[in-house]
Structures are given as structure tokens and as C-alpha cells.
Structure 1
Amino acid sequence: MLLAMLPRQERDHLLSYIPEKDRRYIEKILKGRARYPECFDERQALFIHIPKTAGRSLVKSLFNVNSVEHANAEWYQRIDPDRFDRYFKFAIVRNPWDRLVSAWTYLREGGAKSSEDDTAWGEFFHRFDSFEDFVCHWLTPENIRRKHLFTPQSEFVTDRFGGMAMDFVGRYERLNEDFDVICEKLGLDVKLPHLNSSKRVGYQEFYTDRSRAIVEKIYARDIELFGYCFDE
């Protein structure tokens, strides 16, 4: 691939023009990492880790690893269609209004300490006076693709044809119950730890009628596909 032959600085500059979610996939291909994680092969299962849906807790319990990539279903389908068809595929989704507050809070507090990108985003978000200011003056269909934490959840769980690819979609709001369903399917008897959680007031407190309506419009596909409403 010609891109791999470019000096690193030039390659990184070109990749910076691509939405972050897609850039991650290209970087994995360039590094020879376009493959299924071994932990997925061991379980004959495919977990689609949507950001800010308690994914770290699940992979620690179910796969005994600290983390897996935030790769979508289409990525795995293109790598190996046969395995994709055979494996049990599942994901956890979250109320879009709540997930947005979680992502905003996470980045405002600095994100992952080892990530320079998270640090830069956190500094940028401090330019906004409030969550309301952020939603009303930054949240657009174009901008949410600049950072994977804001990518619509529907784009993670659909295949390359646009159809639902998951065998099971659990909910963050009933995580313990749905975790038990997943464990039964995988034949596991494990407990769910609580990792990477934050303490804050209810997400509803962050919204006004205006910001609530903006999120409803921006994430309309998620709300429709997963049947969410604001006060769930």
C-alpha cells in the first residue's frame, strides 16, 4: 500500500483528514493488525465494544482481557465473513442522551491519561461554558464523527449492508440482567465488575428543552433503532 511507504509525519497528516473511527481501521491495516482478537476466537464470540457502554467491565469478565478495540461489526465482517457468520455477536447500547453526557464528562475530565488526543479534546471542550453550550454550538452530524466517543451506536452494530448484525443487543440500563443472558449463551459463570464508572447527577439535569431536541435529532437513528426515550 502506497500510504504505508510514506514518511510517518506525512502519513499521519493524510490520515488526520479522515474521521477518527475510519482512521483507526486504516492504521490497524497498516500495522498488520487487521484480525480478530484471540480472546474472541477462544469464546467463539464477537463483542462489539461501543464507547461509554461499560465495555471494559464486560471484556474483563467475559474474555479476561483489559480492553478490546472499538471496532464496528462491518470491520469484523470484512476481515473474515465466515467467522463473522459463525460467532455469537453481541453489544451493549445506552440511552443516547445519557451516553453523550458521559462522553462529555469523560473528556472534560481529561479522558484516558495516556491519550494525547483525549487531552486535546478535553482542553477544547473547556472552551464551552457548559454542556448546554457544547450541545447547542458544537453538536452536528459532521462533528460527531470527529471523535469515536460520539459516533452513533447504530453504526457499530450494523453490517456492510446496513442491516442489524447482532444476535443480542443488551442495554446499559439493565446491564446486570443482560450480562446474565450473555453468560448463559457463552456457558460462563462469572461476575460483572464495575470499572471505569463516574459519579454525577442524573443526565436529565444537564439538558434544557433546546439541547434535548438537538440530541434527539442528531441521534435519531439510535433512538429509533433501540427504542429509547429521554426519560428512560
Structure 2
Amino acid sequence: MVSHEFKCIFIHIPKCAGTSIESALGHLDGYQGRNGQDHRSIRLMAKPRLSLRALTSKARLLDIARSVRHQRRSDMNPKNKITVSDEQYKNYFKFTFVRNPWARAYSMYKNVIRDEAHKRTFGIEGDMSFKDFMHAFAGKGMLRPQTYWIKDDNGDISLDYVGRFENLEADFKEACQRMGAQHIELPHKIKGDGEDYRQYYDEETRQLVSRIYKDEIDYFGYTF
């Protein structure tokens, strides 16, 4: 999401508290639908440089396809179309939040399986086990690796700040201080349901996450 008020660009990785952060920054004000969140990658926030890599990368092409689909939605939050100039992109505070990939995957499963609209989007009929869900959807769509959202066309992560879901309140406070918005607070504290995600993993599924999300596990130092 882009906020000209706070001069920031927030990259909303699914299931990393992004909805609460967007709400705190006013992105969801006045919007009543289900599709208010802005999941644009950092690549869609910047104008592509005229290089073969930038214009033909798989990630950039996926971005464009997804953007076209969402632009056609009649219920999309109009704030998801806000853009920045080259100068604004250079000067705005760019940040994101990441999460333990094993915890994020199980959180996504719970969110999908308890909501009929989400199940339809994923093409799920009836019940589906977590193991089957991961074999079907790991590394795809909203469960793409977190680095998909935050790597630029050169494959670099050059954000000003990367907070962690596991330290949400303190890290969000730090981000707000850096962008000069100390008065902003999260709308509610995210506590989850107290479940230990590890109890839902067998060895095969644990290794599946280790393999598909190896890049972010190595980069951010996450462990099971």
C-alpha cells in the first residue's frame, strides 16, 4: 500500500499482520468490502527500468497478470490503485513485516478452511487436511515465498525496514517512529488462538516448507 499522508510504502505479505497495519495507516478507511488489502509487490510500486531482466522476469510477469485481474474487480479498494513517482519511490519509507514460514502456512490454512468464500477461491470443496492443503498450495498464490513480495527486479531486498510478526507491536512502533508517525497504533493486538503450529506438522510437511521457503528461512534465520 501507498500512503502519501505518511510518505510510506508498505508491502503487505499475506498472513503477516498486514491487514491490521493497513488499517492503522488508514488504508481501509471507508471501505466495506472483502478485498481492501493491497498485496502489490515492491516491483509493482516501482517503475521497471528498461532492462531485459526487469521486463521479462517471471516475478514481474506474475505481478502484471495479478494486477490486471485485480484491476477488473468491481469491489476492489480504490486506494489499491495509488501509485508513486520515481522521486516518491526513492524518498518514501519502504517497509514490510515477515513471519515464521511454518507458522504463516498453518495460519493461512486455518484462515482458508474456516471461510467458505476463501474455500471457493482456492477451489476447495468440503474438508481438507493441512498436509493436503500444503501439497496443493505451498509456494503458490498467497502462499508464495515471502521474498516474492519484497525482492526487486534485480533480486535484491532493499527496503528501509523489515519488521517481524513475532515482535509485532515493538517493531511496528519502530517503523512508525522512522516514518515520523509516532501517534499511530495498531487497531488491536494480534494474539492468535494460542495454538502451537508445530503440533500440526508431520516430518514430510515440515520438510516441504523447509524446501519451498528455503530462501526466506535462510535470509531471516527462521527455524521450525
The alignment's TM-score, normalised by the length of structure 1, stands at 0.70
The residue correspondences of 1:59-138 to structure 2 (distance < 5 A) are: 59-63=22-26, 65-66=28-29, 67-78=36-47, 80-110=85-115, 116=117, 118-121=118-121, 124=124, 126=126, 128=128, 130-135=129-134, 137-138=135-136
Deviation at 1:196, TM superposition (A): 7.8
Distance 1:178 1:191 in 2: 12
Distance 1:190 1:46 in 2: 15
5+ residue gaps, structure 2, are: 30-35, 48-82
Partner of 2:57: none
The AA in structure 1 aligned to 2:10 is: F
Q: Deviations over 1:96-142 (max 9, x none)?
A: 0000001111110116xxxx5x24146616453x212333x4255xx
- The range that moved more, 213-222 or 190-199, is 190-199
Distance 1:172 1:228 in 2: 12
The AA in structure 2 aligned to 1:171 is: R
Q: Report if aligned partners of 1:108, 1:123 keep a CA contact under 8 Å in 2.
A: no
Partner of 2:209: 215
**1:173 is matched with which residue: 141, 166, 182?**
166
Distance 1:121 1:195 in 2: 28
Q: Deviations over 1:37-85 (max 9, x none)?
A: 4xx1121110001111111111222336354410000000126433221
Of Structure 1 and Structure 2, the greater helix share is in 1
Q: Report if aligned partners of 1:48, 1:156 keep a CA contact under 8 Å in 2.
A: yes
Q: Report if aligned partners of 1:183, 1:190 keep a CA contact under 8 Å in 2.
A: yes
Residue correspondences, number: 181
The AA in structure 2 aligned to 1:138 is: A
Distance 1:163 1:62 in 2: 26
- Sort the Cα spacing of 1:96 and 1:47 in 2 relative to 1 into closer, same or farther, 3 A: same
5+ residue gaps, structure 1, are: 1-35
The alignment's TM-score, normalised by the length of structure 2, stands at 0.72
Does the residue aligned with 2:44 lie in a helix, a strand or coil?
A: helix
The answer to whether structure 1 residue 163 and structure 2 residue 162 are counterparts is no
The AA in structure 2 aligned to 1:183 is: C
- The range that moved more, 173-182 or 156-165, is 156-165
> CA RMSD of the aligned region, Å?
2.3
Does the residue aligned with 1:59 lie in a helix, a strand or coil?
A: helix
Identity of aligned residues (%): 31
Does the residue aligned with 1:92 lie in a helix, a strand or coil?
A: strand
Distance 1:125 1:71 in 2: 28
Distance 2:87 2:153 in 1: 14
Partner of 2:52: none
Distance 2:46 2:158 in 1: 9
Q: Report if aligned partners of 1:108, 1:125 keep a CA contact under 8 Å in 2.
A: no
The residue correspondences of 1:10-29 to structure 2 (distance < 5 A) are: none
Deviation at 1:199, TM superposition (A): 2.3
The AA in structure 2 aligned to 1:74 is: R
